Amino acid sequence: MPPATIGVDLGGTKVLAATVNGDGDVGARVKRPTSTDGPEAVAAAIAEMVRELGGAERIGVGTPGFVDSDGVVGGVPNMVGWDPPVALRTLLREATGIPHIVVDNDVNAGALGEAAHGAAVGYPDALCVFMGTGVGAGLLLDGRLRRGPRGLAGEIGHLVVRAGGRRCGCGGRGHVEAYAGRAGMEGEARRRHAAGEPTALIDIAGDDRMKSSVFAKALDRDDPMAHELLGEAVEAVGAAIATAVMLVDVSVVVIGGGVADKLGPHLVARVGAAAAGLLGGGLAVPVVPAALGDDAGVVGAALLARGA
Ligand SMILES: [Zn+2]
């Protein structure tokens, strides 16, 4: 008999698929680099991973991009070879032969995972922020994920924190992601280095992608640029959280994602302090580290498949 539910966390660099039981416990898992040959190849790879896990009755998938209720994905700049709109649910049904498939945004899936089985348990109103290549958030209000008519709810990466500021990957200026997304921080480090400013970030990363661990190492070496970039990231996310808290009133803010995982609870505490400083008047909310790490996406995706 196939395992009931498989959760899939589809990212720009890797895909994680795992069996997840009704208590949110993760069983067997398979991890692969993401195919760069377009959505059909990605769907075929996921189908193979599902077979490796012994098949499934239902599958939940978290993917980058805005996702409509038919599982059609739009706006996915960090998926190589994708030309949105991509009918991902249809492709996955064809590739797997499994009809019961739910597709949603990866950050929404991660937020659902943290809400049901992680750091936001017990808080019906929560903002779960994920700091990685970009910055996104899932918003839970009255215990339910708020998506919004266009799937934009919680997209705090594109809140403006500095009018006319640094260029964001989306084309806008002064957005949170330009300061606090790993890609935005790397872009700024490379620009400043090219203009003659030395930094351990480039010494460590060379021409490779400047991963979160590179920032961690440069901070250990007390690199001034790494400290400055991280300070700006903390300030940007803190400002976005303060804005979000005043707009929708949540009781807890959870911070996860690759950058937060690598830089640890100290980063989360600094973000919390920045947000508290901006909120003032005793309005600060607890800002806590995510609890599920890399598993938040697959756990949340499985919940989506179960109808969360
Ligand atoms: Zn933006």
Neighbours of 51 (CB within 10 A): 13
129 shares a domain with 106:
no
Ligand 1 centroid vs 174 CA: distance in angstroms?
8
CB 127 within 8 A of CB 244: yes
149 shares a domain with 267:
yes
167 shares a domain with 192:
yes
State the Cα–Cα distance between residues 64 and 76, nearest whole angstrom. Answer: 6
260 shares a domain with 185:
yes
132 shares a domain with 48:
no
Ramachandran category for residue 293: left, alpha or beta (phi over 0 → left; psi -120 to 50 → alpha): left
Ligand 1 centroid vs 175 CA: distance in angstroms?
5
Q: In this predicted model, what pLDDT tens digit does every residue of 123-144 receive, in sequence order? A: 999 999 999 888 999 999 999 9
In a domain, 216, yes or no: yes
In a domain, 116, yes or no: no
Ligand 1 centroid vs 204 CA: distance in angstroms?
27
Ligand 1 centroid vs 156 CA: distance in angstroms?
9
Ligand 1 centroid vs 170 CA: distance in angstroms?
4
Question: What was the pLDDT predicted at 141?
Answer: 97
239 shares a domain with 141:
yes
CB 129 within 8 A of CB 237: yes
pLDDT at 78 exceeding the cut of 80: no
* Two tokens, residue 115: 């809400």
In a domain, 235, yes or no: yes
Neighbours of 71 (CB within 10 A): 20
Q: In this predicted model, what pLDDT tens digit does every residue of 194-239 receive, in sequence order? A: 999 999 999 999 999 999 999 999 999 999 999 999 999 999 999 9
In a domain, 206, yes or no: yes
174 shares a domain with 37:
no
Q: How many domains does the chain have?
A: 2
Ligand 1 centroid vs 136 CA: distance in angstroms?
11
Packing angle, helices 88-96 and 39-52, rounded to 10: 40
Ligand 1 centroid vs 177 CA: distance in angstroms?
6
80 shares a domain with 151:
no
209 shares a domain with 223:
yes
Question: What was the pLDDT predicted at 169?
Answer: 87
CB 214 within 8 A of CB 263: no
253 shares a domain with 140:
yes
Query: Smallest Cα–Cα separation from 257: which of 67, 109, 107, 54?
Result: 107
pTM of the full predicted structure?
0.92
Q: Residue 209 sits in a domain of what CATH number?
A: 3.30.420.40
Ligand 1 centroid vs 196 CA: distance in angstroms?
27
- Dump strand ranges (E) for the chain: 5-10, 14-20, 26-33, 58-63, 66-67, 72-74, 86-87, 101-105, 126-131, 135-141, 144-146, 252-256, 287-289
Ligand 1 centroid vs 166 CA: distance in angstroms?
10
74 shares a domain with 141:
no
Ligand 1 centroid vs 53 CA: distance in angstroms?
37
CB 18 within 8 A of CB 28: yes
In a domain, 115, yes or no: no
* Two tokens, residue 6: 């498989």
- pLDDT band per the 50, 70, 90 thresholds, residue 87: very high
214 shares a domain with 106:
no
Half-sphere exposure of 2 (CA within 13 A, CB side): 15
In a domain, 228, yes or no: yes
Report residue 48: phi and psi, to 5°. Answer: -65, -40
Structural domain boundaries enclosing 11: 5-110+295-305
Ligand 1 centroid vs 73 CA: distance in angstroms?
18
Question: What was the pLDDT predicted at 148?
Answer: 86
161 alpha-carbon distance from chain centroid: 19
